[in-house]
């Protein structure tokens, strides 16, 4: 079976790996710009089941975390920090929500937060022990290398017309927000949101953070302990003022962030379903599927939905 996957981000690489687990699948990955050139390369790497402000548990959280974790293992050592994540309560509504009994997270009162993060300001927090901070670039590179070892081919070229996919038995468009540029996909129920994050120097005078912290915005660990990431904006265009304001925004719950030295800016465009937050996975013709709409939960859902779509396509081709 000759399979084409357009897009080498979280979605495309997850699919690629899952197809390669089946005998007889020859996979060609097509990307205009290389591994992790889209939103996945800009991602600040938070992986946990409680992304909404009031910590409502994401649908299918347990299986999604399991599949994401399995892909991290495939990508090899050093691609993530497994030290958990803390969500700080920034108001009473959040505090109440975090105090509710959640299956795999624990409420921390103000004192417990202070003892772990002496410089943080909050009215308590939610400790998510299975939370991970994924170091996007090494992760994507590691996953690609594992796919390449299993025989996947990478074509560095833009796909301009879906007719170019005719030579394949099946194809998946996993090309993030650019999917909307194909006329066959222009009416899919999707919306885009730009996002930026700051790459900052972690001051030598500050003790290292034990894990990533979320307040209004977040402070993420980086693969390089002398750096950290401040994320992320949600906006209609890339506004330089909005990204600079992240230091002040994060300074509200972690005051030292106000003085962090900015080294770089990461930018990407998220694409999400118009309704809800589950990825958009469907066929648009007999041979072409789409896998997109990962929104802000790309890490949570790329493993599970990539695995399920690969199985669905293999089944359809075997009939």
Ligand X SMILES: Cc1cc2nc3c(=O)[nH]c(=O)nc-3n(C[C@H](O)[C@H](O)[C@H](O)COP(=O)(O)OP(=O)(O)OC[C@H]3O[C@@H](n4cnc5c(N)ncnc54)[C@H](O)[C@@H]3O)c2cc1C
Contact residues: ligand X, CB under 6 A: 6-12, 30-33, 37-40, 42-46, 158-159, 174-176, 178, 195-197, 231-232, 266, 268, 270, 292, 294-300
Nearer to ligand X, 124 or 298 (CB): 298
Which residue in 5, 306, 3 sits closest to 174, CA to CA?
5
Q: State the minimum distance, in angstroms, from the CB of residue 8 to ligand X.
A: 5
Q: Which residues does 77 contact at the CB level (< 8 Å), separation at least 6?
A: none
Angle between the 136-149 and 10-19 helix axes, to the nearest 10 degrees?
A: 30
Is the CB of 11 or the CB of 251 nearer to ligand X? 11
Distance CA 176, CA 263 (A): 26
Between 44 and 94, whose beta carbon lies closer to ligand X? 44
Least Cα distance to 84 among 207, 221, 217, 206 occurs for 221
Q: How far is the CB of 204 from ligand X (least distance, A)?
A: 26
Asked if residue 213 lies in contact with residue 219, where contact means CB atoms within 8 angstroms, the answer is: yes
State the nearest-atom distance from the C-beta of 59 to ligand X, in Å. Answer: 15
Q: Name which of 176 and 303 has its Cβ closer to ligand X.
A: 176
Compare residues 95 and 220 and give the one whose CB is closer to ligand X: 220
Q: Which of 4, 256, 286 lies closest to 152 in space, CA to CA?
A: 4
Q: State the minimum distance, in angstroms, from the CB of residue 255 to ligand X.
A: 22
DSSP code of residue 235:
B
Minimum CB distance to ligand X, residue 111 (Å):
28
């Amino acid at each position: 079976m000759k399979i084409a996957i357009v897009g080498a981000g979280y979605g495309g690489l997850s699919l690629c790996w899952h197809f390669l687990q089946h005998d007889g699948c020859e996979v060609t990955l097509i990307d205009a710009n290389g591994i992790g050139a889209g939103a996945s390369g800009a991602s600040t790497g938070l992986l946990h089941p409680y992304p909404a402000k009031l910590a409502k548990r994401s649908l299918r959280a347990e299986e999604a975390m399991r599949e994401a974790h399995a892909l991290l293992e495939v990508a090899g050592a050093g691609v993530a920090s497994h030290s958990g994540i803390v969500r700080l309560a920034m108001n009473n509504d959040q505090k109440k929500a975090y105090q509710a009994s959640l299956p795999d997270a624990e409420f921390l009162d103000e004192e417990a937060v202070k003892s772990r993060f002496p410089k943080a300001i909050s009215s308590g927090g939610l400790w998510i022990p299975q939370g991970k901070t994924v170091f996007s670039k090494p992760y994507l590179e590691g996953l690609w290398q594992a796919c390449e070892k299993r025989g996947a081919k990478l074509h560095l070229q833009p796909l301009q017309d879906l007719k170019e996919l005719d030579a394949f038995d099946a194809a998946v468009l996993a090309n993030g927000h650019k999917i909307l540029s194909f006329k066959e996909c222009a009416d899919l129920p999707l919306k885009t949101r730009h996002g930026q994050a700051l790459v900052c120097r972690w001051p030598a005078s500050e003790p290292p953070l034990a894990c990533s912290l979320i307040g209004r915005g977040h402070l993420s660990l980086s693969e390089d302990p002398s750096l950290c990431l401040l994320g992320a904006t949600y906006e209609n265009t890339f506004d330089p003022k909005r990204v600079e304001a992240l230091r002040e925004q994060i300074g509200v719950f972690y005051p030292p962030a106000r003085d962090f030295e900015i080294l770089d800016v990461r930018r990407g465009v998220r694409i999400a379903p118009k309704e809800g937050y589950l990825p958009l996975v469907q066929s648009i013709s007999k041979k072409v599927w789409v896998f997109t709409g990962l929104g802000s939960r790309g890490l949570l859902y790329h493993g599970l939905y990539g695995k399920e779509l690969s199985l669905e396509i293999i089944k359809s081709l075997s009939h």
